């Protein structure tokens, strides 16, 4: 029973909706949440009132902040997912609808309610008390006047009051709730025995006249769909890479102009020994430090295994000396430049000569490398490949219109377009419409290939972009009309079908007889699996079909038995050995479950109320804008 309620109360989607329609307690992001200047492209309309792109983007940021504050991992894939985008938009629509209802029914938040709430907000506390100075300071930082802030908090409180009021309407008698929860949390110890169809296949004999009779009665099932054989020409950005070139100077320029882009994720792990000197050290002091560092370096070269011991004894970097000089992993930009240059030029296990930095003389030992290098030589080929493809894409864009026009203007053949663009005309095998759609990944091209204009008039299809940077034009060279399959083509399949049906009936008969004997208390020989204890959330390896039936078994008398048949698979007998009413044994669990049940019913009430508001309003979604990457 609770499954229907959970779908509205669990998961990050529900959290997103709650984040944007409950009271805005935290000040982070509140300015962006309230600011709706700019970005006036409509993502949706509620009774003609726009929800702007800016408002939607601000809501995305607010949802991100809320989820992160709740410990939820938020990454780019999640923010770009249709489910996340839809949930954010739903939350804005829900809030609009509830604000409209508040206005229509004249709900009001008193000055006293507003004052008590603002005074209690943790953002404005200082030494455990409300601070008017902090209040005005934070509002000024967020570019909000007290009147504007209090107006929006008043609106938030009204929305919350409606939500709380709906939840308070929920009443479930204790006995009814207990019965539902007992069923929901019940555990059953079960075993399963299968009577498999495959065990009876060898007992079945199918005669040729049975196969013939089935074919005669079901000829309409054996119609071969129409097929076409196509010629096609493909204009692809990938095929144009050989027609463009990129110089070494262009590669170097791109690397320098996009240094941040090519930082890579390479990490170096190193240890060091630091013999330091201050920034006011004299030449003599620096010389003494260098002499000491060189002495240590000579000891290390004589015995590389002594590095950690010497680091503990001599290194003046208190943070790493106690760990044998270990600095852990770091990327570019984390260390001073001389140290970074040396570390990123070394090989694993190598020990450097003295490296001077503003802190002193370092002896570096490289202990590991992870990630991908980002220096120019390492990135050169990758950058060149990217630039080549960018140029090929640009060339493709220049040629695309001309390709489409040529296909249309020379519609009697693909040879002119192939010759003009240096393409090869290819021929496909005979394919059905579905097969064409899968082959080219284009429903549009499949439909055009079977159109009268292409099939009967023998004209080219229009140029169709079957995927980004790939244009295809085709023409039908052979059409094969749909026709009944011959008996010889299908008799093997019919025989297998009839054999499976007959074996299934035998398995069902055997299973039903087994079940009857078990219910009658007779001793039977069945191949039971090792008993497992399951509940509605934990299947313990049992199949979905068993789990759909295991809680249907009447358990007034144990062991209890239940059977069900699955076509072409066999008959399954379920044995319930024991029943554990989990809530009876744990009052604390029962109390938590009852509260969760009440909360779920309240959430369902709120969901139903919002659904009723939506049904009364004209809501239009601009899906193209919503699903655009530009939204984030």
In this predicted model, what pLDDT tens digit does every residue of 373-423 receive, in sequence order?
A: 667 777 888 888 888 998 989 999 999 999 999 999 999 999 999 999 999
Confidence grade of residue 563 (pLDDT, cut at 50, 70, 90) = very high
- Residue with more model confidence, 602 or 207: 207
Q: What is the pLDDT of residue 450?
A: 94
Provide the token pair at 144. Answer: 């909000």
Asked which of 451, 484, 517 is the last residue of a domain, the reply is 484
**42 and 139 part of one domain:** yes
Report if residue 530 sits inside a domain: yes
Q: How far apart are CA 390 and CA 382, in angstroms?
A: 12
DSSP 408-453: HHTTT-SHHHHHHHT---EEPPPB-HHHHHHHHT-HHHHHHHTSHH
Number of domains in the chain: 4
Task: Report if residue 589 sits inside a domain.
Answer: no
In whole angstroms, give the CA distance from residue 192 to residue 532: 9
Confidence class for position 594, pLDDT limits 50, 70, 90: low
The residues with which 559 forms a beta bridge, in sequence order, are: none
- Residue 86 maps to a domain: yes
Task: Tell me if 386 is assigned to some domain.
Answer: no
C-alpha angle with apex 347: 343 to 348, nearest 5 degrees? Answer: 95
518 and 403 in a common domain: no
Half-sphere exposure of 61 (CA within 13 A, CB side): 17
Are 406 and 281 within one domain? no
Give the residue ranges of DSSP H helices in 337-375: 337-343
- Stretch (H or E) spanning 552: none
**pLDDT value of residue 433:** 93
**Residues 415 and 283 occupy one common structural domain:** no
pLDDT at position 27: 41
Q: Which band of pLDDT confidence, cut at 50, 70 and 90, is reported for residue 174?
A: low
pLDDT at 420: 93
Most confidently modeled of 107-111, 249-253, 586-590? 249-253
The stretch 507-515 carries a mean pLDDT of 93
Q: Is the pTM of this model over 0.85?
A: no
Whether residues 406 and 332 fall in one domain? no
Q: How is residue 242 written in tokens?
A: 């050989």
Q: Report the pLDDT value the prediction gives residue 351, as an integer from 0 to 100.
A: 94
DSSP 143-183: T--HHHHHHHHHHHHHHHHHHHHHHHT----HHHHHHHHHH
pLDDT digits (tens, 9 = 90+) for 227-241: 999 999 999 998 888
How far, in Å, CA of 588 to CA of 585, rounded?
9
| pLDDT band at 161; cut points 50, 70, 90 | confident
Over range 446-467, report the average pLDDT. Answer: 93
Q: How confident is the model at residue 179 (pLDDT cuts 50, 70, 90)?
A: low
Q: Are residues 521 and 622 in the same domain?
A: no
pLDDT of residue 238: 87
20-29, 275-284, 334-343: the lowest-pLDDT one: 20-29
What pLDDT score was predicted for residue 632?
A: 44
* Domain identity same for 279 and 316: yes
Q: Phi, psi at residue 355, to the nearest 5°?
A: -120, 120
pLDDT, position 446: 94
Judge contact between 619 and 93, C-beta under 8 A.
yes
Q: Are 610 and 98 in contact (CB under 8 A)?
A: yes
Q: Identify whether 80 is part of a domain.
A: yes
- On average, the pLDDT of the chain sits at 82
Neighbour tally for 602: CB within 10 Å: 19
How high is the pLDDT of residue 295? Answer: 93
| Claim to verify: residue 410 and residue 468 sit in the same structural domain | yes
State how far the Cα of 374 lies from the Cα of 264, in Å rounded to an integer: 5
Domain end point (choices 484, 499, 517): 484
Give the SS3 label for residue 578. Answer: strand
Q: What are phi and psi of 484, to 5 degrees?
A: -65, 140
182 within a domain of the structure (yes/no) = no
Quick one: pLDDT band at residue 589, thresholds 50, 70, 90?
low
User: What distance in Å separates the CA atoms of residue 152 and residue 144, rounded to the nearest whole number?
Assistant: 10
Average pLDDT over residues 35-54: 69
Asked if the model's pLDDT at residue 17 lies above 70, the reply is: no
What pLDDT score does 15 carry?
A: 45
% of the chain at pLDDT higher than 90:
37
On the question of pLDDT at 71 being above 50, the answer is yes
> Do 151 and 7 fall within a single domain?
yes
- Whether 95 is in a domain gets the answer yes
Does residue 84 form part of some domain?
Answer: yes
* Closest alpha carbon to 231 in 431, 442, 466, 452: 431
More confident residue, 46 or 628: 46
Over residues 44-61, the mean pLDDT reads: 81
Q: Are residues 74 and 98 in the same domain?
A: yes
CATH number of the domain that residue 620 is part of: 1.10.4030.10
pLDDT at residue 180, rounded to an integer: 57
Query: What CATH number has the domain bearing residue 302?
Result: 3.10.50.40
Please state, in angstroms and rounded to a whole number, the distance separating the CA atoms of residues 306 and 434. Answer: 70
Percent residues over pLDDT 70 in the chain: 83
Count CB-CB contacts under 10 A for residue 435.
16
Query: DSSP 3-state assignment of 627?
Result: coil
Rounded average pLDDT over 54-83: 77
d(CA 471, CA 95): 44
Name the H helices within 520-586.
Answer: 544-550, 582-585
For 408, residues 6+ apart whose C-beta sits below 8 A from its C-beta are: 460, 462, 463
pLDDT at 582: 62
- φ and ψ at 563, to 5 degrees? -130, 150
Per the structure, the complete domain to which residue 285 belongs is given by 265-371
- Residue 155 and residue 36 in one domain: yes
Query: 37 φ, ψ to 5°?
Result: -80, 140
- Measured from the Cβ of residue 128, the count of other Cβ atoms closer than 10 Å reads 5
pLDDT at position 243 over 50: yes
Task: Answer whether residue 448 shows pLDDT above 80.
Answer: yes
pLDDT band at 46 (very low <50, low <70, confident <90, very high): confident
Query: Of 456, 484, 512, which residue constitutes the final position of a domain?
Result: 484
Q: Are residues 557 and 529 in the same domain?
A: yes
Burial class (CB in 10 A: 0-12, 13-18, 19+), 524: middle
- What integer is the mean pLDDT of 496-506? 91
């Amino acid at each position: 029973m609770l499954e229907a309620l959970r779908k509205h109360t669990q998961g990050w989607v529900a959290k997103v909706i709650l984040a944007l329609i409950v009271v805005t307690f935290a000040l982070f992001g509140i300015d962006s949440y309230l600011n709706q200047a700019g970005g006036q492209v409509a993502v949706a309309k509620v009774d003609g009132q726009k929800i702007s792109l800016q408002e939607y983007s601000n809501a995305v940021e607010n949802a991100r902040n809320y989820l992160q504050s709740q410990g939820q991992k938020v990454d780019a894939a999640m923010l770009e997912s249709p489910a996340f985008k839809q949930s954010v938009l739903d939350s804005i629509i829900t809030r609009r609808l509830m604000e409209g209802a508040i206005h229509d029914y004249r709900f009001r938040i008193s000055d006293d309610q507003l004052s008590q709430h603002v005074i209690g907000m943790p953002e404005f506390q200082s030494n455990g008390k409300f601070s008017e100075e902090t209040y005005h300071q934070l509002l000024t930082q967020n570019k909000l006047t007290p009147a504007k802030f209090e107006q929006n908090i008043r609106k938030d409180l009204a929305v919350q009051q409606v939500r709380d009021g709906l939840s308070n309407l929920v009443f479930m008698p204790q006995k009814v709730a207990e019965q539902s929860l007992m069923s929901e949390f019940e555990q059953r110890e079960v075993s399963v025995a299968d009577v498999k169809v495959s065990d009876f296949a060898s007992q079945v004999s199918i005669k040729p006249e049975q196969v013939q009779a089935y074919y005669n009665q079901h000829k309409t099932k054996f119609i071969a769909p129409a097929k076409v054989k196509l010629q096609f020409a493909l204009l692809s950005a990938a095929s144009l890479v050989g027609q463009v070139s990129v110089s070494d100077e262009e590669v170097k320029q791109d690397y320098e102009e996009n240094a941040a882009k090519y930082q890579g994720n390479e990490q170096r792990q190193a240890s060091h020994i630091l013999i330091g000197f201050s920034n006011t050290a004299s030449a003599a002091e620096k010389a003494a430090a260098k002499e000491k560092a060189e002495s240590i370096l000579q000891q290390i070269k004589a015995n590389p295994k002594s590095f950690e011991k010497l680091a503990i004894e001599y290194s003046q970097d208190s943070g790493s000396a106690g760990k044998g000089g270990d600095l852990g992993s770091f990327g570019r930009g984390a260390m001073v430049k001389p140290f970074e240059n040396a570390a990123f030029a070394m090989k694993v296990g190598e020990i450097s000569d003295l490296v001077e930095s503003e802190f002193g003389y370092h002896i570096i030992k490289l202990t590991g490398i992870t990630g991908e290098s980002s220096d120019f030589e390492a990135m050169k080929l990758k950058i060149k490949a990217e630039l080549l493809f960018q140029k090929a894409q640009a060339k493709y864009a220049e040629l695309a219109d001309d390709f489409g026009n040529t296909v249309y203007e020379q519609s009697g053949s693909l040879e002119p377009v192939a010759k003009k663009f240096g393409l090869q005309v290819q021929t496909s095998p005979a394919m059905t419409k579905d097969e064409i759609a899968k082959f080219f990944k284009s429903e549009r091209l499949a439909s055009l290939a079977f159109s009268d204009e292409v099939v009967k008039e023998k004209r080219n299809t229009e140029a169709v972009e079957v995927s980004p940077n790939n244009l295809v034009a085709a023409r039908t060279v052979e059409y094969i009309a749909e026709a009944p399959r011959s008996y010889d083509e299908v008799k093997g399949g019919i025989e297998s079908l009839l054999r499976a049906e007959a074996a299934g009936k035998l398995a069902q008969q055997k299973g039903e007889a087994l079940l009857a004997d078990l219910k009658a208390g007779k001793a039977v020989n069945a191949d039971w699996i090792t008993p497992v204890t399951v509940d509605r959330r934990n299947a313990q390896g049992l199949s979905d079909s068993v789990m759909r039936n295991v809680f249907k078994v009447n358990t007034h008398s144990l062991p209890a038995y239940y059977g069900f048949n699955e076509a072409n698979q066999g008959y399954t007998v379920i044995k319930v050995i024991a029943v554990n009413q989990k809530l009876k044994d744990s009052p604390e669990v029962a109390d938590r479950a009852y509260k969760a049940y009440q909360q779920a019913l309240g959430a369902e009430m709120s969901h139903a109320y919002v659904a009723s508001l939506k049904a009364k309003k004209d809501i239009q979604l601009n899906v193209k804008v919503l699903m655009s990457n530009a939204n984030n």
